[in-house]
């Protein structure tokens, strides 16, 4: 089992030491519209991780009735605020708001989620590096590399083609020298593609989609899915599971991430890493125009 929490804790510890050496405290601004319970829970985890790293978090909780213009005005103010290093717009937004326009209004130098087309696009280009790599794919790649298995020349399969996970994940694996297949909603027989993969990343949001018959023996399996299924033994009446049938696949895979405790903690750790990088780069540019700074997880 690949313990994402243990690996993330190590990254946070390293970040804490790096932050302590800065001449400024990194600031992460989180824009939340409304009172979505799942979003609030996720933000609390981000705030806790930020505090562990020595990063200051600033929550801007806005009324659910806010207009698009006012929301983008709040983001513009944060873009102009020299004390703020990173900005995230917590999704989902209420239905009357345009999430693409809202996230797209974040300044590229503060896009620590890595959602902007400029960052996702640079992730895909061999001769470019993004200012900020999207957090979940960046964390997944770190988990894949943590097992120490050579990747170049091997086959990878990414199930799911979202802009924030599937597409950049495939790009990162291509840059590692892998032959990559991306499966999506129109793919015929995705299991056949998955069975060839030495590295299988699943990010579709469907509980236990991937069973043992989908997995090549010895493969590295990274489960990005977050789903809730009924469970009468739990106080909440439900439990979190991934897109992979863990009990069945763990007997076939060489390495596998659990849900929870796999990709989730790494996504938050990568957000903190990107926030540190944003702060270090901005401070460095002030001292020496054209120079940058960075944190290597």
User: Residue 46 catalytic?
Assistant: yes
Whether the upstream peptide bond of residue 260 has omega within 30° of 0, thus cis, is yes
Locate the DSSP E strands across the chain.
Answer: 27-33, 56-62, 86-89, 155-159, 179-183, 199-202, 220-223, 227-230, 238-241, 255-256
Q: Which of 90, 111, 198, 245 is catalytic?
A: 90
DSSP letter string over 96-145? TS-HHHHHHTS-GGG-TT--SHHHHHHHH-TT---SS--HHHHHHHHHHH
* Residue 63 designated active-site: no
Q: Which two tokens stand for residue 66?
A: 């806010």
Q: Phi, psi at residue 133, to the nearest 5°?
A: -75, 140
Q: Which of 113, 223, 245, 277 is catalytic?
A: 113
Q: Which residue has the tokens 């993004």?
A: 130
Q: Six-digit token pair at 39?
A: 């979003």
Active-site residue set = 46, 90, 113
């Amino acid at each position: 089992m690949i313990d994402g929490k243990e690996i993330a804790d190590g990254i946070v510890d390293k970040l804490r030491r790096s932050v302590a050496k800065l001449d400024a405290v990194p600031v992460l601004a989180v824009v939340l519209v409304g009172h979505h319970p799942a979003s609030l829970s996720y933000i609390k985890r981000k705030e806790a991780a930020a505090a562990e790293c020595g990063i200051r978090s600033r929550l801007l909780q806005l009324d659910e009735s806010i207009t698009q213009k006012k929301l983008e005005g709040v983001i513009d103010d944060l873009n102009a605020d020299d004390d703020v290093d990173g900005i995230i717009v917590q999704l989902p937004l209420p239905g009357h708001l345009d999430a693409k326009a809202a996230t797209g209004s974040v300044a590229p130098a503060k896009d620590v989620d890595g959602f902007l087309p400029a960052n996702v696009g640079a992730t895909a280009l061999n001769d470019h590096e993004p200012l900020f790599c999207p957090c979940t794919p960046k964390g997944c790649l770190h988990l894949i590399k943590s097992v120490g298995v050579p990747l170049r020349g091997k086959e990878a399969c990414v199930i799911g083609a979202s802009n924030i996970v599937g597409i950049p994940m495939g790009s990162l694996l291509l840059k590692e020298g892998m032959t990559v297949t991306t499966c999506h909603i129109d793919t015929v027989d995705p299991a056949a593609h998955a069975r060839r993969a030495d590295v299988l990343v699943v990010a579709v949001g469907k509980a236990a989609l991937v069973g043992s018959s989908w997995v090549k023996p010895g493969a590295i399996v990274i489960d990005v899915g977050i789903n809730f299924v009924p469970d009468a033994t739990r106080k909440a009446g439900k439990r979190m599971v991934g897109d992979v049938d863990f009990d069945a696949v763990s007997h076939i895979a060489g390495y596998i991430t659990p849900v929870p405790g796999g990709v989730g903690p790494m996504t938050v750790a990568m957000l903190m890493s990107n926030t540190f990088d944003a702060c270090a780069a901005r401070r460095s540019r002030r001292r020496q125009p054209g120079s940058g700074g960075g944190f290597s997880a």
